[in-house]
Structure 1
């Protein structure tokens, strides 16, 4: 009789004492799913969201028709925005709005920041890093070209991230804006947002944080950190669904100073005046442009309820336990096969996912998808393991990592001609 696997025993014990375990039954089940390791890219739908969307189609849209705008829909970008702010961003009411895609909101806020009175004149540089998400780099490159600005690059290690010391070395009297990701999309590195924000402010610059890979995964305190601006998507840990709209945060005192560049009727002072010229609304409405995507705002509300129930500290605690477990299995099972951990071991510097590198990981990813194990692949040679605390169990993590081990073994045998 073989000895019991201590890792499997740990996983089952951890699931028994998991204070978030009851949430797993609230997600839509998939018959062919063995392990879902991509919650950091697209979260799973909840059963409550399926019911909410069906109810909306029949009762709200079908039943109320255009009356829904007056009765509720016009306010949804702000009510849900405020809820995201309170539950997941550490932001007081009146500073967060749901609107466009992350790309569009990033453009709006970055353009507004570099055009702000404090940024005019000698402040001609935008600071960003070489390993930031492509959208961020592309958008800022376009803004620099539009406004005659210079991009000041921080060379970031893809296996870690941007440190406060690196930021301090490049910001100065020419810096208009610093744009960084709170959690690096490849490595999962968790930046020290509080220290970096203070460093940027000491130089007179504004800061815009990309929260796409951190919101709903790690505690965020935008007000306490005195952050100026932030954007983030809602389809990862908030489970808003494919392409669900992003959110924008603008600190209260900056709202009357910044002028976003995409003037649309929903951002005007009197939406239905249909006047001859654009007059921006007060508050966060001025950061809207077109008609809000109401259907896309529905699903995230059910995840916000779960997070509100237990709190972000409980979510973070389980997230760290899951990623610690994945790292332990990586060391035991994958490193002997030539894999390398490409994420921080220090829990304080790690977000909600880990990346394991090996030259065969692209082929491994394809093989795993065929088996119902769903990670994703990111160059260079990286298998990303995204473990959503609300929907992922420890035993699921064990099963998925065991499948990664076997798929990598198979690829190595094939490469050697022994398979």
Structure 2
């Protein structure tokens, strides 16, 4: 049986819906409700607080972190789950800057996710030591790496266009000038092969509710390289990052290794859903997913460009330069996406004019791609987006 035919059956996909938004929120794994129900009834319900020991809740963040590590090329024992992605960005950036007291520049790019830049701006204000955030065009990052740069902070795959940075080349260039690297893998983990260890990345962060399918509000993760993990100083010195949380000492002592990057109480219920999703990844390799995603992406681009000439491809033409999404632009992009959703094909919109479609082989096949292109053609040919019902922006786009 085709492995992707098998993985498709492992997700709940509503009847009449073609889902091309897994790059924003993955669908529900079929096994997740039972996994969560077991936790609720057999663990929380029957064990009560003893579940922290008996059910292994306290060890979840590192145990699950090791499972995620396999998908991002990280060494075992160097990924921990918890909190939100913005918190993990803050942790990584604060730790990196603490290692670079004689440098002032945080280098990022104009395609980075705004929240990462917001966290950098806030940290700069609170540290008040003359730091500056420098953002350049994505293709110009390498040209701006010099000995003034403290930290290079980039999202590997651009959330709007899907443009993908060369992690290996940029990491090597950053290291050659003494800069610390932070990679945001929000649109990489579960989408493209990543080799953090091979690229000698210093830090990486990411979320689990997109391609990893943990559900809304799923936990984030942080990676710290072996050469740093026993020395980094956590800016957010949370109780569960303490060396001995239940000693209740008045002073903070960082925990051993990656444990020191824990902050708050782990989201046990949400992590159970993530573990159900990660079981699906045991059936397939990232190389298989990547090869199939490229096939589906190329098919989608061909179908849409042939049938919808008013849409402009903004994703890189070369599949090796883009992640697992395809984006087009149009001045009426938001309304077009709403009209498409009304026809049962779910993508999403990103300001100012981007129609964004996630290509996720675990549950998307050729028929889905062709159907989505056909519905998009109907929307464009009939100018269905002119319906006033599609013009008013909802809070989530």
Alignment partner of 1:378 is 2:350: yes
User: Is 1:408 matched up with 2:380?
Assistant: yes
Rate the CA distance shift 1:396–1:120 in 2: closer, same or farther, 3 A. same
The answer for the alignment partner of 1:207 in structure 2 is: 181
User: Contact between 1:330 and 1:341, CA under 8 Å: does it hold in 2?
Assistant: no
User: TM-score, normalized by length of structure 1?
Assistant: 0.89
Residues 413 and 228 of structure 1: CA distance in aligned 2, closer, same or farther (over 3 Å): closer
Deviations 1:304-344 (A, max 9, x none): 22222221111111111111111111221112xx2110101
Task: Name the residue aligned to 1:108.
Answer: 91
Q: State the Cα RMSD in Å.
A: 1.5
Q: Is the 8 A contact 1:128 1:180 kept in 2?
A: yes
**Equivalence for 1:154:** 136
What SS does the aligned partner of 1:309 have?
coil
CA deviations 1:22-62 (Å, max 9, x no partner) are 111111131341x1110100000111111101111111111
1:267 corresponds to: 241
Note the 1:50-65 alignment, pairs <5 A.
50-65=33-48
Equivalent residue in structure 2 for 1:29, among 13, 30, 33: 13
Secondary structure at the counterpart of residue 191 of structure 2: coil
* Structure 2 SS opposite 1:276: coil
Identify the range of structure 1 (368-377 vs 42-51) with the bigger mean alpha-carbon deviation. Answer: 368-377
What's the offset of the Cα at 1:302?
Answer: 2.7
Tell me the equivalent position of 2:395. Answer: none
Question: Counterparts of 1:199 and 1:138 in 2: how far apart (Å)?
Answer: 25
Unaligned runs of 5+ in 2: 388-397
Structure 1 unaligned spans of 5+: 1-16, 156-161
Distance in 1 (alpha carbons) for counterparts of 2:386 and 2:185: 40
Among 102, 106, 117, the alignment partner of 1:137 is 117
1:357–1:383 CA contact under 8 A, matched in 2:
yes
User: Aligned equivalents of 2:327 and 2:13: distance in 1?
Assistant: 26
Deviates more, 1:235-244 or 1:405-414: 405-414
Q: Distance in 2 between matches of 1:67 and 1:314?
A: 41
Residue from 42, 59, 66 that aligns with 2:25:
42
Inter-CA distance 272–385: structure 2 relative to 1 (3 Å threshold): same
Matches within 5 A, 1:6-405: 18-33=2-17, 35-71=18-54, 72-86=56-70, 88-116=71-99, 119-121=100-102, 123-147=103-127, 148-155=130-137, 162-163=138-139, 166-335=140-309, 338-405=310-377
> CA-to-partner distance for each residue in 1:254-313, whole Å, 9 max, x for gaps?
012211111111000101000111111111111111111111111222332222222111
- Displaced runs of 4+ in structure 1, greater than 3 A? 412-415
Q: Hey, what's the Cα distance between the residues in 1 that align with 2:385 and 2:295? A: 32
Q: Secondary structure at the match of 2:183?
A: strand
The C-alpha deviation readout for 1:210-254, integer Å capped at 9, x for no partner, is 000010010011001100000000001110000101010000110
Q: Deviations over 1:85-118 (max 9, x none)?
A: 02x01111110000110000100110111011xx
Closer/same/farther in 2, CA of residues 413 and 238 from structure 1, 3 Å limit:
closer
Residues matched between the structures, number: 384
Tell me by how many angstroms 1:385 deviates: 0.9
